[in-house]
Structures are given as structure tokens and as C-alpha cells.
């Protein structure tokens, strides 16, 4: 008799569950690898971006103060501050829109999603 003919149902089920567990572990490893790669890219891009943003924040504050003082020679001080604040709000909104657009470009773990779908299909065929 063949070895497969001698196996009990519980042995077969145990093997199936063991294989499913290994598939799930493999999918988790793949997801971690894909997400880790994208996270590293994001972190490398974020470090100089954050440093530049902090410095730009301080420089921007100084420039805005100078702009308010300069405009207050022509306009009332409160109106000068309002005009500079409105300009900064428009620029900030544009920069936020650009940043959101770039964040949308970060990839989903496509390989993992495809692989999980294939595994689910395989499991459905086997059961």
C-alpha cells in the first residue's frame, strides 16, 4: 500500500492546517518586506524634508515679520499683518495640497495583495 493510503483524516487535516499556517507566515513576511522597503524610502525622504521645514519655519517667521513691518509703513499695522497672513495662508494651502498628492504616490504592497488573492483562490479550489 502507498503511504498516502495509510494516512488518517486527522493527519491530512493537520498537514493542511500546517500548510495554511506556513502560507500565512510567508504572506506576513512578504508584506513586512514590501512595507519596510517603502518605509525606508519615506524615512530617507523625510529627514532632509523635516530639517529644511524647521529652518524654513524660522526663516519664514523672520521674513514675515519684516514684511509686516515694511507694509505697516504704507498701511495700518493691523491691515499689514492681515495681508501677510492671508498670503501665507494661500501658500500653506498650496503646499499642503502638493504634500497630500505626493503621499498618495506611496505604493501599496501590490505583490502581497496579489499573492494573498492567489492563496485564497488556491485554498478555495482545495476545499
Is the per-residue pLDDT at 3 higher than 60?
A: no
Going from N- to C-terminal start, the domains of the chain cover: 3-126
Q: Is the pLDDT of residue 127 over 80?
A: no
Higher confidence at residue 1 or residue 73?
A: 73
Say how far apart CA 118 and CA 111 lie, in whole Å. 11
Q: What is the mean pLDDT of residues 65-83?
A: 95
Is the entire prediction scored with pTM above 0.85? no
Q: Is pLDDT of 1 > 80?
A: no
More confident residue, 85 or 109: 85
Amino acid at each position: 500500500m502507498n503511504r498516502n493510503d495509510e494516512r488518517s483524516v486527522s493527519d491530512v487535516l493537520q498537514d493542511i492546517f500546517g500548510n495554511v499556517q506556513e502560507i500565512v507566515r510567508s504572506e506576513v513576511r512578504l508584506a513586512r518586506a514590501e512595507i519596510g522597503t517603502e518605509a525606508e524610502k519615506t524615512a530617507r525622504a523625510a529627514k532632509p524634508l523635516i530639517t529644511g521645514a524647521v529652518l524654513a519655519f524660522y526663516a519664514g517667521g523672520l521674513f514675515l515679520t519684516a514684511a509686516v513691518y515694511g507694509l505697516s509703513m504704507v498701511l495700518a499695522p493691523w491691515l499689514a499683518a492681515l495681508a501677510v497672513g492671508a498670503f501665507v495662508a494661500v501658500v500653506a494651502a498650496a503646499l499642503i495640497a502638493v504634500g497630500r498628492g505626493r503621499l498618495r504616490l506611496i505604493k501599496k504592497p501590490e505583490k502581497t495583495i496579489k499573492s494573498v488573492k492567489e492563496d485564497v483562490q488556491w485554498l478555495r479550489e482545495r476545499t
